[in-house]
Structures are given as C-alpha cells and as structure tokens.
A and B are shown apart, each in its own frame.
Chain A
Amino acid sequence: EAGVTQFPSHSVIEKGQTVTLRCDPISGHDNLYWYRRVMGKEIKFLLHFVKESKQDESGMPNNRFLAERTGGTYSTLKVQPAELEDSGVYFCASSQGGGGALNEQFFGPGTRLTVL
C-alpha cells in the first residue's frame, strides 16, 4: 500500500512568488493534516481536513496560506505571496477516521520550501 506522498520534494522560490504544495494521502483516509517545521523549531500543526471540509485551521499563520482538498482526496497548500519566514519543511499526514479509531497519523516525507 502506498504511503502519503508529497510533491515537490524541494522548492526554491523568490520572495513574493507563489508556490503550491501537493499531498496525496493514503487511499481511503478521511483525515488529512498539514504541519510545518521551520528551522530549529518544532513541527507545528497548520490545519486538519475531514474529507473535503476544514475541521480545524487554527494553526494557519496568516491569509497568505490557502489549503484546499477538493473531492476529499488530495490536498494543496498554496502560499501567496511567499515571505522569507515561510521557509521550512511542510509535512502532510493522513489518518483513517471513523468512530472508535485512534486515527494514527501517517506522515509524508515533507516538502522542503526555501524562500530567497
């Protein structure tokens, strides 16, 4: 079974440009999460989708970040316009969902974003 995949693995852009990160969760997983790790800091929660709906977006840093999950399958995270402080590794995770399940989150390898 394929794990969580993320694309691209690495993106280098200039300040002010737009970047879109993609996450493909494990097939059948209803829950999809985005996390971010900036240099030297801990991994931080950004938001949580249940199917196509945003369940919790309390970790989104500002309105330059837009996450979507059309059709409840893959998700995109767009940063527009990118700033220097957006550099870091963006992780996506998915979990199965459903009542009574622990909903272990399986993480993708991350997208390393560098804003110059």
Chain B
Amino acid sequence: QKEVEQDPGPLSVPEGAIVSLNCTYSNSAFQYFMWYRQYSRKGPELLMYTYSSGNKEDGRFTAQVDKSSKYISLFIRDSQPSDSATYLCAMSASSTGFQKLVFGTGTRLLVSP
C-alpha cells in the first residue's frame, strides 16, 4: 500500500470554478503537509504547506489538513487557465521541517477558458 494516495485525474473544469484536490495517507507520523504545483518539463514548486492539522489560506488557495481522517485538501477558488498544471501533495515526518518528502502521484488539472 502506498503511503500517500492521490487521484491522478485529469480533472477538467471551466474557468472560474472552485477546484478541490485531495490526498489520503496512512503514516500517522507525517507532520508537514505540502502542496506543490508542477508545470510540464519543470520541477515541482511549493504552493503551500501546513504543519499538523488545520487550515491555511493564501489568496485563491486554501489548504486543509484533517489528521484524524488522514486526509488533506487543496481548494482553488476562481480557477484560471494559468492554474492548469499537475498538483502534487507531499508529506514529511520530520519534526524539523521539510525532509525526505513523500509524494502523491499528482493530479493533473485542466482549466478551460
């Protein structure tokens, strides 16, 4: 069983839609939860991270972590065509921050004008 499960998509939405991306995980030792965005032929870039449970908002993006359910989400409001990319969740069990990241497979998002 994979430590982190993520639906690969693709997820197609019209411009302006609210997008919900999710991951589940099995390792209760994970403490840092991250969302990366990856454009084609580029490396992943960090969008947001959350430590332990709770919500975090940054502009159009909201990250949620529910450790009791081992479930994390990323919401994108007012989605734009420029949001079209692969979104990867990643997790770390280190207490000192981002170490040895464990990734989901990524969800490909397509936002059509």
User: What residues of chain A have their CB less than 8 Å away from a CB belonging to chain B?
Assistant: 4, 33, 35, 40-45, 48, 56, 58-59, 91, 93, 95, 101-110
CB <8 Å contact, A44 and B103: yes
CB <8 Å contact, B105 and A42: yes
- Sample of 18 further A-B pairs with CB below 8 A, known A33-B100, A91-B44: A41-B105, A42-B2, A42-B6, A43-B44, A43-B103, A44-B103, A45-B100, A56-B99, A93-B43, A102-B97, A104-B46, A105-B46, A107-B36, A107-B43, A107-B44, A108-B43, A109-B41, A109-B43
Q: Given B2, B45, B88, B96, which contacts A43 in the complex, CB threshold below 8 Å?
A: B88
CB <8 Å contact, A102 and B98: yes
5 nearest A-B residue pairs (beta carbon): A107-B43, A102-B97, A43-B103, A103-B97, A42-B105
Given A41-B105, A42-B106, the answer on whether A107 and B100 have CB atoms closer than 8 Å is: no
Q: Please, which residues of chain A bring their CB within 8 A of the CB of B90? A: 43
CB distance from B75 to the nearest CB of A (A): 22
Q: Is the interface of B mostly helix, strand, loop or mixed?
A: loop
CB distance from A102 to the nearest CB of B (A): 4
CB <8 Å contact, B98 and A110: no
Q: Please, which residues of chain B bring their CB within 8 A of the CB of A107? A: 36, 43-45
CB <8 Å contact, B4 and A103: no
Q: Given B43, B98, B103, which contacts A104 in the complex, CB threshold below 8 Å?
A: B98
Tell me if B101 counts as interface (CB < 8 A to partner A).
yes
CB <8 Å contact, B106 and A95: no
Q: Given A4, A45, A101, A108, which contacts B102 in the complex, CB threshold below 8 Å?
A: A45
Q: Which residue in chain B gives the minimum CB-CB distance to A37?
A: B103
Q: Please, which residues of chain B bring their CB within 8 A of the CB of A93? A: 43
CB <8 Å contact, A48 and B100: yes
Given A42-B103, A42-B105, the answer on whether A4 and B43 have CB atoms closer than 8 Å is: yes
**Digit string of B60-97 for contact with A (CB within 8 Å is 1, else 0)?**
00000000000000000000000000001010000011
